[in-house]
Every structure is written in structure tokens, then in C-alpha cells.
Structure 1
Amino acid sequence: MANVRIAGTGMTAFGEHAGRTGRDLFAEAGIDALEDAQLDPDDIEELYYGNFMGELAEHQGHQAPLFAEAVGIDAPATRFEAACASGGTAVRAAVQAVRNGEADAVLVGGTERMTDMGTAGATDGLSIAADDLYEIKAGMTFPGAYALMASAYLDAYDADADDLAHIAVKNHDNAVVNEKAHFQSAITVEDALEAPRVASPLGLYDACPISDGAAAVVLTSESFAADHDLDAPVTVTGTGQGTDNLALQDRESLYRTPAAETAAETAYAEAGITAEDVDCAEVHDCFTIAEVLATESLGFFEPGEGLTAAKDGKTTRDGSIPVNLSGGLKAKGHPVGATGVAQIAELTKLLAGTHARSDALDDPSVGIAHNAGGTVATATVHVLERTTEVDA
């Protein structure tokens, strides 16, 4: 099984890109990734592409060949859709293709255009990741769904909802120096607690923004990287995916995410590591409660203990396991199809020492990317390791 190197990364700024098309955004990210890898479009043998709702946002289906054309790639192109985990599933498929010897160089990326839909339109579009028959027709939206999950968690562990504010503060603080982040401003605990409620117990600062953006990474085999003298010090050593029932009513628990637990177990086993080996993580914090559930599913904390991790300083920059040094979805932004790929790009820079927040880490070697779809009916987890020396 071939090792999979990350040879290049590219990402647009996340935020509002009025007047720009999805193909334009992806061209920027994809070309930047190729230039970072010092490769040409002709070197790419496959394009794997994540997108959730291009048909709704841009009236554009069949995006993969269109977006390959935008980057100048003449190779098989495939689109992956798994709601907010679309990018993560595309990365997983690309890793498997390189491992299996099907391709030596793959561009994997994702894009979403959402802000032109407006808040109501984007909320309605995102809702199709839920069960139409039993959730959408009953008026369920994702703020409401995650509010139910948060309420169940708080009830189960007799916990304080105010602790969620510390997660929002941490992630906004991390994003201040991230030039690609949607929000680059700090907030206080008081700001978060006094903000309008979106769906109780979740307030405005508990929710990620509606964002436009694109991200891309170049994955290669180890032999290809060596033959082309590529600077690719980070390797994907583990990948996993899990699935749960789509509708919340069909779950065994509203405050556990077994899809993420399964994905983590698989990824850890492939990489030959445990949660204790992880130096940093980028997790899917579409809402602050989602970061709590993610960190517990990844094994960083026991069930019921993840809620206070930010408050206690365990997941902050100087904590034992820094989480979302990029700002996460909460502050960096969440252009849905791009998110899972952007996590890989951020972690690659963190492990290579080229990230704006690299100074928070002391010689890191292992990072984890956790990408979730919907209310975590789909989850992917990837283990990234720094496997060659990098310049100080």
C-alpha cells in the first residue's frame, strides 16, 4: 500500500464573494495548489471534487468536468456529495486511489457558493441534508437540530450551556491571524452569552457563518514525490469513514456521534496511533456543540468532559491538544464542499511549520482532520503525519 504525500495546498479566502462563480473560486484554489506543488495540470491523473448544493446555489450540476476545465486538467473528474462532509469523502477517495496504485497524482478539492442565496435560502438549501419526510417537512433546520443535540447533551451530563461560549471565543481568537478566515476578529465570553438566541440553547456566536470559498490539495504517491523532487513532508497515514441513521429520531443517542467514532477508530488503526499521539486537530465545529461531540468521538476526552475543554484551557493554543487553530468552521468559515479539504490544507501547514498559528505547536508530528455531514450521519477522519524533516 503506497504512502500518500501532500505535495501542495491552495485555498481562497472564505467569506462573501459577490459576483464570483464556483468555477472561478475553484480555479483559484486548484491553480494555487498546483503551483505550491510545482506541478502542471498535465501531471494530474484524477480530479476528486466535493460539492453539496451546486444545483440549488448556482443551478449547476455535473460540476466535476466543468471545474477540471477551469483548472486546466484533462483527466477523469468525479464529484462527491455527502452534505458538509463532501470534501472529506473526496479526500478519502483520493487517498485510496493513490494507495491502490490507480493514480500517482490527484488534485482533490471542493467548493461552495452560498451567500448569494441569502440566509433563508441557504438555510433551506442546507436543510436537504436532513430527512425530508420526517425532519424537513416538520420544519427542522440545522440550528434546530444541533440545538436538540446540545440540549440532550446538557441534560445527560447536567452541564452548563454557558461553557459553549468559551469554544466560540477560542476559535475566533485563533482566526484573528488567519488571512483566509471569514471572521478575523476576537470576541469575549460576554459577547457570546449576550448574543441573540438562534435556537436555544445556541446563540448567534455558537453558529458558523454562511460562506463562499474553495480549497484544494495535491496528493501524490511517495515514489512520484521522490521522482519529481517534491517538497512534501506531510503524509496521510490513516483515513476512516462512518455512517449513522440520517434522522435524529432514529438515533440511539442525540449526544454521541458513532459515525465519527467509527471513522476515528479506522483512521487510528491504519496509522498505528492513538488519540494520545495527536498534537493538533481541525474538527467540524459548525456549531460549538459539534466541537464538543467531535473531541469526544476522537477520544481526546471522555463523554461529558469535552464541554469544558476550552474553558479549562485544554483545547486552546497553549493547551494539551489545540483544536481548530485555523479558527474552525466557527470563525474561518464553512463553504460546505470546501471544508473537509480546507482542514487538510490547514493541518499540512501546521505540521510543516508554515501556518500563522504554527508558533502554538512545539515540533508537532501528528494532526487529525474530522469532517462531518449533516448531524453527523456521515463522518470522515484523516490522520496526517510529518514524515520527513522540515526546515526550522
Structure 2
Amino acid sequence: MTEVRVAGVGLTEFGEEPSRTGRDLFGAASTEAFADADVPRADIESVRYGNFMGELSERQGHQGPLMAEAAGVRAPSTRYESACASSGAALRSAVKDIRNNEEDVILVGGAERMTNLGTAGATEALAIAADELWEVRSGMTFPGAYALMAKAYFDEYGGDRTDLAHVAVKNHDHAMGNEHAQYQRRIDVSDVLEAPPVSEPLGLYDSCPISDGASALVLVSDEYAEENGVDAPVAITGTGQGGDDMALQDRKYLARTPASNRAAEEAYADAGIGPDDVDFAEVHDCFTIAEVLALESLGFYEVGEGIGAARRGETTAEGDVPVNLSGGLKAKGHPVGATGTSQVAEITELLRGDHVNSDAVADAEVGLAHNAGGTVASCLVHVMEVVA
């Protein structure tokens, strides 16, 4: 089977840039990816682009061809939407087509412009990733939804706000020096516990920020890399996708995320590995409790045991399985359409040894990206390995 290599990665800084359009952001990330890959734009056979709220934040639909133009590419282009997992879904599509020998060179990525809406507007826009009939109309927002999940976890398995605070502290530590991160400042447990509440038991520092930004990857087949002398030592060796009921009220569990279980199981089987083989991971920590749920669904911890991982130091840069060495969504930022492929870009740099935190995983060979949509009604997992 054809192997999918990551030839180049590109990221904008994540943060508050309300005057920059989505096309400007994606064009910048794409330019960086092409420079990193040393692959000509003329060789791109298609563009796969992830975006969630473009119609609301920019009054712009039909973004596929627009973003191909912004990237300087004349090739068919399609937009993918799966809430916060939009570019993860775009990536899975690209991986499968290269493997099936449909194409050899694909530009895949995503972008989101959010801060121009303001906090209230962005919160309202994000809310449409929930069930409009049964959740949105009742006033549900994602801070409220994840607060319900956190309360359910505490009730069923134990743990407390201090455990979650250690997740936030860890990810802020990891973001230090990451030039792409929105928040490059350290916090301590007391900062988290004393911060204003957002939705009990979650406070301000339990929540990811509203962000603008873009990410892009140039993917190539191993045959193309060999024939064209492209140095691409990192491959995507496993891909998986899972789903769950949209509304929380319809789910069997509030304190588990079966969509992540299903996506992980498929990705592990595809790559021929298990969770014990993963050296580090980037997981979807839109709220601190989301990281805990991801750790358990990915098989790194048994159900009910992930809550203390950060507090025990097991998921820090010095731990057994470092998690979110980029800073995660919590500190790096979360421009939702860009997040999935930004995780893969960070893992690629970590595996290549050219990331600010590469020393923490100097001998690593396997990384994992976990990208979730909504309250994990959708999930994409990708396994990445050093292959040459």
C-alpha cells in the first residue's frame, strides 16, 4: 500500500487577528508549507480545506476554490465541515486518496476567523455544533456542555478542580517558546482555581481561547517523494474516525467519549500498533476535562484513572507519555477549522527534531493526533511515525 508522507507543514501564529481574513490566513500557512516541503504548487492535484463557521464570521460559503486561489493553487478544492474536527476530516480524506493511488500530492489544511465576532458572537457561532432543536434552543453552550461532562466524571469516578487545574498548568508550560502559541505565559494551580467561573466546575483557565489562525500540510506519496528527492521522514500510518449521538441527553455516558474510542481503535489497527506504542500525543483539550476524557478513550488510561495524570506528572514533557507539547488548544489556541491539521504539523516538527520541545521526545518514533468535534460527536485520530 502507498505510504503517505508529510512533506511540509505551515502554521500562522494563533491568536487575535480580527482584521485578517480566512483567505489571508490560509494563504500564509500554505506559503510556509510549500517552502518547508520544497514541492511546487503546480504538482498539487487537489486541496482539502477544513472550516466550520465561515458563513457566520465572514459571510462566505463555497470556500474550497477560494482557498485554493489563496494558496496559489490551480486544482480542484473541497471544503470539509465537522465542527472542530473539520481539518481532521479533510486530512483523513486526503490520506485515503493517496493510499488508494488516486493522487500523489495534496494540500490539506484549515483556517478559522473568530475574534472579529467578539466573545458573545463566537460563542453563539460555536454553539451550532450542538443539537439546535434540543440543546441550542435551550441555551446550551459548549462551556455548559463540558461542565456537565466534568460533573458527571467527578460524580462517577472522582477527581476535582485541582486535578483539572494541573492539566491547564501543564499545557501552558508546554506552550512556552512555541512561536505559534496564543498564550506563552506560565500559570499555577492557584491561578486556575481563583479564575472567574465560566460554567461550574470549569473556570476561565479551564477553557481554550477564541482564536484566529490557519494550518497547512503538503502530503505526498512515498513514490512521489522518492522520484522527486523530497525529504519527508514522517508518515501518517494510521487513520480512524468515530461518531456518537449529537445531543448529550441521547448518550449512554456523559463521562466517556465513545467516538474517540472508535476512532482510536481504527487508527491503531490501521497502523498496526497499540496505545503502549505511542510516545507522545496531541489531544483535543478544548476544556481541561476534554483532555482527561481523551486520555482514557485513546487507551492511555483505564476509565476513571486519567483524571490524575497531569497532577502526577505523567503527561508533562518529562512524563512517560507527554501530551500537548504544543500547548494544546488550551494555550496554543483553537481556531477550530485549523486545529486538526495544526496538531499534525506540530507532531511532524516534534518527530523531525525541529520543534521547540523536540528535546522532550528526542527518541520518539510514534506520535498521535486526536481531533474532536462538538462534545465529541465526531472524532478523528491519526497515527504518525518516523519511517526514514
User: How high is the TM-score relative to the length of structure 1?
Assistant: 0.98
Q: How far apart in 2 are the matches of 1:181 and 1:361?
A: 19
Q: Could you tell me which residue of structure 2 aligns to residue 375 of structure 1?
A: 375
2:79 matched to which residue of 1? 79
Shift, 1:370, TM fit: 0.0
What is the alpha-carbon distance in structure 2 between the residues aligned to residue 71 and residue 161 of structure 1? Answer: 43
Distance in structure 2 (CA, Å) of the matches to 1:320 and 1:140? 37
Retained in 2: the 8 A contact 1:154–1:161?
no
Match of 1:180 in 2: 180
Matched, 1:192 2:185: no
Corresponding residue for residue 327 of structure 1: 327
SS state of the match for residue 137, structure 2? helix
* SS state at 2:239 partner: strand
Contact 2:158 2:304 in 1 (8 A): no
In structure 2, the partner of 1:39 is 39
The aligned runs of 1:1-392 (5 Å cut-off) are 1-388=1-388
Corresponding letter in the other structure for 2:29: A
| C-alpha contact (below 8 Å) 1:238/1:268 kept by paired residues | yes
Secondary structure at the residue paired with 2:108?
strand
Deviations 1:236-256 (A, max 9, x none): 000000000000000000011
Matched AA of 2:153: Y
Report the Cα distance in structure 2 between the residues aligned to 1:72 and 1:107, rounded to whole angstroms. Answer: 11
Which has the higher mean CA deviation after the structures are superposed, 156-165 or 361-370?
Answer: 156-165
Q: Give distance in 1, aligned partners of 2:107 and 2:144.
A: 36
Secondary structure at the aligned position of 2:370 is classed as strand
| Residue identity (%) | 64
Q: Secondary structure at the match of 2:240?
A: strand
CA distance in 2, matches of 1:159, 1:32: 42
Post-superposition Cα deviations, 1:37-73, rounded to whole Å, max 9, x if no partner, equal 1012111001000000100000000011001001111
Deviation track 1:131-184 (CA, whole Å, cap 9, x = no partner) reads 000000000000000000000000001322221000000000100110100000
Q: CA deviation at 1:18?
A: 2.8
Cα distance in 2, alignment partners of residues 256 and 226 from structure 1:
43
Work out the CA distance in 2 between the residues paired with 1:148 and 1:224.
Answer: 48
Q: Residue deviations 1:63-105, cap 9 Å, x none?
A: 1100100111111100000000001001100100100111100
> In structure 1, the residue corresponding to 2:231 is in which secondary structure?
coil
Whole-Å separation in 1 of the counterparts to 2:349 and 2:209: 23
Structure-2 separation of matches of 1:248 and 1:236: 32
3-state SS in 2 of match to 1:49: strand
Kept in 2, the 8 Å contact 1:366–1:385? The answer is: yes
Give 1:155's aligned amino acid: D
* 1:186 shift after superposition: 0.3
- Counterparts of 1:300 and 1:148, CA distance in 2: 23
What is the rounded CA distance, in whole Å, between the counterparts of 1:191 and 1:349 in structure 2? 31
Does the residue aligned with 1:382 lie in a helix, a strand or coil? strand
Cα offset, 1:201, TM superposition? 0.3
1:31 Cα offset (Å): 1.2
Contact 2:150–2:201 (CA<8 Å) still a contact in 1? yes
Q: Secondary structure at the match of 1:340?
A: helix
Return the alpha-carbon distance in structure 1 between the equivalents of residues 334 and 362 of structure 2: 28
For residues 190 and 380 of structure 2, the distance between their equivalents in structure 1, rounded to whole angstroms, comes to 34
Q: Displaced runs of 4+ in structure 1, greater than 2 A?
A: none
Give the TM-score, by structure 2 length.
Answer: 0.99
Matched residues in 2 for 1:209 and 1:354: separation? 26
- Measured in 2, the distance between the counterparts of 1:14 and 1:208 equals 12
The answer on whether the counterparts of 2:367 and 2:383 sit within 8 Å (CA) in structure 1 is yes
**Displacement of 1:35 after TM fit?**
1.1
AA aligned to 2:79 is R
Distance 2:175 2:159 in 1: 27
